[in-house]
Amino acid sequence: MLKKSNLKFSVKFLFHLIFINIILTLIFTRSFMGIYILNFRLGELIVAFGLLVVVSYLLYVFIKKDVMLLNFPILNYFLLIIVFIFVVFMSSGSLLAQYTFKSSSFIWMTGYLFIGFLLFKSNDLNRYHKYALILTPFVIYIFNSGNYPNFIMYFFQQYSDKFQFNKGSDVLMALIFCSYLLKDLLSKENFLIFINLNSAILLPLFLTLSRASFFSAIIFVLLINFSNIKFIRKNFKKFFYLVITSAILFIVSTIRVAGLPDISFRSQEPIVVIQNSVNEVVERKSVNKFYGFYFCEERLCSEDNTLDWRFDIWFDLSKDMIEKNKFLIGFGFNEIFEVMKDPSAPGRLGRDGLNEHVHNHIFTVLGRMGIIGLIIYTTFQFKLIKAAGFQIILFLLPLFLVSFFDTTMESIQFPLLYYFLISYKYSKQ
């Protein structure tokens, strides 16, 4: 009896500990993942533990003949792991190289789906968890709109590999993650109040950090409100006051964010070096354009330099794969994509010269595992979400959208929270 009570206490303690780390990850994102522990960064340890969990889960399935999660797409999951091993072998890679697992971290982070399932299944969120989730988006806004505590900045500069303000995609994840868990902890009225008021103050911040996160956030707010249209109609007067309050908060927030003297340095949009020749400029001016998009240089182009920068990378990656017969199985996980090794400064390597991402998760998977791996990976994600239920799509769709234009799933914090979010839904089925 004593052993059982001790086990229950240990599980609950572990749950609270992981929840605290989730909140810290939501607030401090990349800076928190870079904290050094025994000469390893926290993010590296998280990926390594995720890999260990994946291997343990596969052994569990083989031995127990049980998938643990109801309707979990185990066949697609097995195929994904098999294709990874096949690609590593065919590209002369190594299963002992650290970079192999760094560049394939989006696969091993699925391990936290099982961890989250077990913890959420055996533990319920209490009022302290609820208060923490309610406050988290507001704390993120305060920290990233001119009031980041100096002592926290100094802490990360001393004990982490880098200090970084939150990216727009990470702020979006925080808003959606907190909203999804609060959905079952708040009344429908309070839930809509939370969504609309937080979105109102965060939208100006999104616009300065990332336009993709800004439009994704707008889509998220519209989806949530339209999905509750019947409730809104019944409480139209209250919702009208909510809209007015949100508009006021949006204006105040816009003035606050616009007044930051160093806001340009907080933007996560890449620096784009424009080196067009006279002939290229003439060609671009003479083409037919549709809402700022047009065809030039044998690819889709955009008047927006940042978006055009991304289009250029995606086209070069696809062209390089076709020319080198890598379209089926990809380049593997051995090294940075060749097309990212731009000799111009800062070019595709970014401000610090360390950027190796193509800013699109689909093209990342395609480049690493080819069209075969991409089909298996997207099928796995589709079946995973389908089994979780339709309602979760409202929350995940904006995250998918921002992943088309940012390095989301290639980071550590974003997929960690993504799979915890899905595991929470699985645990409640």
For residue 281, name the pLDDT band (cuts at 50, 70, 90): very low
Range from 98-102, 235-239, 283-287 carrying the lowest mean pLDDT: 283-287
For residue 262, name the pLDDT band (cuts at 50, 70, 90): low
User: Could you write out the DSSP letters of every residue in 74-129?
Assistant: HHHHHHHHHHHHHHHHHTT--TT-HHHHHHTHHHHTTHHHHHHHHHHHH----HHH
Q: Is the Cβ–Cβ distance between 177 and 25 less than 8 Å? A: no
Distance separating alpha carbons of residues 331 and 341, to the nearest angstrom: 15
What value does the mean pLDDT take over residues 147-160?
Answer: 94
208 CB-side CA count, 13 A: 24
Three-state secondary-structure class, residue 301? strand
What value does the mean pLDDT take over residues 71-83?
Answer: 94
Q: Is the Cβ–Cβ distance between 227 and 394 less than 8 Å? A: yes
- CA dist list (Å): 242 to 196, 249, 314: 8, 10, 42
- Residue 254 CB neighbours (<10 A): 17
What value does the mean pLDDT take over residues 205-234?
Answer: 94
Q: How high does pLDDT run on average in the chain? A: 89
H or E stretch at 55: helix 42-64
Q: Which residue has the higher pLDDT, 316 or 292?
A: 316
pLDDT value of position 173: 97
Give ∠ CA 424-427-429 in degrees, rounded to 5. Answer: 115
For residue 278, name the pLDDT band (cuts at 50, 70, 90): very low
220-237 tens-digit pLDDT:
999 999 999 999 999 999
Burial of 102 (0-12, 13-18, 19+ CB in 10 A): middle
Counting residues of the chain whose pLDDT is more than 90, the rounded percentage is 70
For 158-316, where are the E strands, in sequence order?
Answer: 293-296, 299-302
For residue 349, name the pLDDT band (cuts at 50, 70, 90): low
Distance separating alpha carbons of residues 210 and 407, to the nearest angstrom: 12
The token duo for 319 is 């062209």
Q: Which residues contact 17 (CB under 8 A, 6 or more apart)?
A: none
pLDDT at 284 over 70: no
Q: Which residues contact 52 (CB under 8 A, 6 or more apart)?
A: 111
pLDDT value of position 279: 47
Distance separating alpha carbons of residues 140 and 155, to the nearest angstrom: 17
Whole-structure pTM value: 0.91
Range from 92-101, 285-294, 353-362 carrying the lowest mean pLDDT: 285-294
Q: Is the Cβ–Cβ distance between 20 and 128 less than 8 Å? A: no
Q: Which residue has the higher pLDDT, 398 or 11?
A: 398
Q: Which residue has the higher pLDDT, 293 or 101?
A: 101
Q: Is the Cβ–Cβ distance between 196 and 238 less than 8 Å? A: no
What value does the mean pLDDT take over residues 13-20?
Answer: 93
Give ∠ CA 157-356-397 in degrees, rounded to 5. Answer: 90
Distance separating alpha carbons of residues 406 and 397, to the nearest angstrom: 15
pLDDT value of position 353: 57
pLDDT value of position 65: 87
pLDDT value of position 295: 80
111-125 tens-digit pLDDT:
999 999 999 998 999
What value does the mean pLDDT take over residues 77-85?
Answer: 96
pLDDT at 258 over 80: yes
- Residue 380 CB neighbours (<10 A): 21
pLDDT value of position 188: 95
Distance separating alpha carbons of residues 110 and 47, to the nearest angstrom: 10
Angle between helices 168-182 and 2-33 (to 10 degrees): 150
376-411 tens-digit pLDDT:
999 999 999 998 887 899 999 999 999 999 889 999
pLDDT at 354 over 70: no
